[in-house]
Structure 1
Amino acid sequence: MTDTPRRTVLDALHRELGATMTDFAGWDMPLRYGSERDEHLAVRSRAGLFDLSHMGEITVTGPSAGELLDYALVGNLSTLAAGRARYTMICESGGGILDDLIVYRLAADRYLVVANASNAQVVLDALRERAEGFDAAVRDDRDAYALLAIQGPSASAVLAQLTDADLAGLKYYSGLPGTVAGVEALIARTGYTGEDGFELFCEPADAEGLWRRLTEAGSEYGLVPCGLSCRDTLRLEAGMPLYGHELSQSITPVDAGLGRLVKFEKTTNEGRFVGREALAEAAARAERTPPRKLVGLVAEGRRVPRAGYRVVSTADGAAIGEVTSGAPSPTLGKPIAMAYVDAAHAEPGTSGVAVDIRGSQEPYQVVALPFYQRQR
């Protein structure tokens, strides 16, 4: 007997819109509403609306909230200004990544930690365990929020019709409380698509009305509802890692090429944080012997690579890496992939690289990430 997937508060609306639903991290979520390619291109050229209510919100409050997060996470969160957000990670003591997170500082003594749906309970448990000895409280707020995301070049114009919040003054990775279509929300300029856009945290009871008002306001801009399928191809083109693919407990932030997120110099907790020793060793090891590097691969043919496929040298067929994510790119018009490859084959333009697709060596070009970067 299997557990029944959870449903977001917008489940009935998704079905009304004809969405194809799928089980994702224990949630029944919209995969697509029609053509995933059309949804993808709408976000790149106009605007798309996503339901992200499966994400895991955790509130950390108290006089020592910042110090707790400095100890529990790899980043320096106590220095984060109120109203700003930061991308960071939580690691286990051996340095392996438990999850990648966005942390919003809502006030001097209040933070909102947003975890991936698949890891929300793990993150919650770890934060509660690590909170011992700190004057701070960790609260499970997963049921307190619905989360909508409007992404794309027209996102700001659509949202501006429904709020008097200073969107122009809201910097990337910032958030402010405001009212959208009469609904109280945290308006955050964050996203996972490579485009400009906003994530709106609101009370679950307000989510359907907010979705419908956003849809109405976006009609003249070509806004469309978007599912998880195009969200994946959008983040892949933008070179954004996905937990369980580019990130996992078996890899450290240093090995993932994200060592910049690890702040060894912290003013709190005498510089101590969970995983510090292991991550320092990983950094030293990387200096001596460069680890495999996360690169982009662009197909010369039409066959699509998938996670787990071997990357090989065409010279001798030796394995030199592994694909972590792959898909057809609607923007580039050809298959693309992210892969960890040996440092000797990681330089953009490296020749003699192929992906083993069911026994056939398909040639790929090594390129720098991201594949796509919006004009700012």
Structure 2
Amino acid sequence: MTARVVALTPNPAWDVTYGVDRLVPGESLRVRTVVGRAGGKGVNVARVARVLGAPSVAVCPLGGPLAAPFAADLDADGQPAAVVPVAGAVRQSVAVVPAQAGPEDRGHPTVLNEPGPALDDAEWAALVAACVAQVRPPAGVGVPDVGPEAPPGAAASAVVATVSGSLPPGTTRERVLGLVGALHGAGARVHVDVSGPGLLWAADAGADLLKPNRSELAEATGADDLVDGVAELFRRGARAVVVTDGERGLTAYAPGADTARPVVVGRARLAEPVAGNPTGAGDAAMAALAVDPDQPWARRLALAAATSAAAVLQPVAGAVDRADVDRLHTHVHTEPET
């Protein structure tokens, strides 16, 4: 049965995507296309989850001149949202996507991320409360309907709260521990996709799933060996870890009897990589992992690999075509637990 996804973006961004012929550093470039929309990794998760048939709500703090267009864009897209007003201005994130690969970029987009505003204690508390309210709404408060692609009669059987993207400047370990603890206390499973110290703090908090990519894992743990890095997250208290590794796909780990040797419980990758814009591919995988957490790992990872690849085919982050997901799903190679 489908889970309901409460997708927190602690540091949302107004996403601007520039399409250029070729990215040449130091030169003036003509922008061929431009798209601006409400974004941030959690917003992307919420949007993709709906395409996959899961009801979702995006939770985010918003302030400044871009707050109104941000909220209006979510509304126009039909994306349920819980907005927490804050004093600081929402940041911008600019992705420059070349149509032709150059020697410096190899066709990959260049992304410029502004830092975003710090949240004071009252604003952070309000953000946590908004998440808890969506996980466990008070009596008489409705929750979002099942997404547009859900089969007739589909119902939510669980709540998965996702925490995705950068953390606001000044975020502390205590804040992350409190957030994960509050979500657990409300009855949600908590999936976290953050980088830097926040990844370690989420492990300390006992997050149900952590989803770093290979470089984020190495940066946060200081371990050159992937398995050693995963083991460190389990030592701290993580309950499951999925590592994404670009074209190599995804690998899921569970803690082993020996804390230094985590157990591989599944792998999935696309038989042939797809070309396009990889911005948002990790968010699409995060959404796929959340929509049905009770499925076997092989099925969850296969859907994540297909959804991630489908996101690469889209010009902007936070979008997938369900037809692409279904088509690519047939080309996913999976390996069972070892």
* Common fold by TM > 0.5: no
* Range of TM-score over shorter length: under 0.3
- Structure with bigger helix share is 2
TM-score by length of 1: 0.25
TM-score by length of 2: 0.28
